[in-house]
Amino acid sequence: EKQLPVFHTQHCSVNPNSPLAEGNPGNEFMEIVKPLAGENIIKKNVNSGFIGTNLKQLLDEKGITNLVFAGLTTDHCVSTTVRMAGNFGYKTWLINDATATFDKVSIGGEKFSAQLMHDTAVASINGEFAEVVNFKDAFEM
């Protein structure tokens, strides 16, 4: 309704054997978030959407100062990009229930649930680098 610009970041691993390498099925956008015509796609090969890309340049050229984040994975790419956006001075929001991550295992073999990893990453971001909101509240901003 508001016709706001949308920027998608796509992680493209430089390792050809990675599921996230270009051309591999894991690199494709999920149907629910597939970019629409005219939406920007920023390809990256590191955690941050700002490193090695023209994302900051595009945002600045368009006069964009407010950013809303969603995606995978909360504790890697999302967290890194949100933190950098905050460091660059953008007003940032993270949509808590539109981000996710995966189960992790520590070097000692302890298993951490995806929910715990997500909640920890969100807690680390909230109030310092972004305001965390839920999906339904994001549309009231």
Give pLDDT tens digits for 24-62: 999 999 998 999 999 999 999 999 999 999 999 999 999
> What domains are defined for the chain?
7-138 (3.40.50.850)
Query: Can you tell me the distance from the alpha carbon of 60 to that of 69, in angstroms, rounded to the nearest whole number?
Result: 17
Q: Is 20 exposed, middle or buried (0-12, 13-18, 19+ CB in 10 A)?
A: middle
CA distances in angstroms from 84 to 6, 38, 51, 99, listed in the order given: 18, 25, 9, 17
Give pLDDT tens digits for 86-100: 999 999 999 999 999
DSSP H or E run through 99: strand 91-100
Distance of CA 141 to the CA centre of its chain: 19
Write down the pTM of the prediction: 0.92
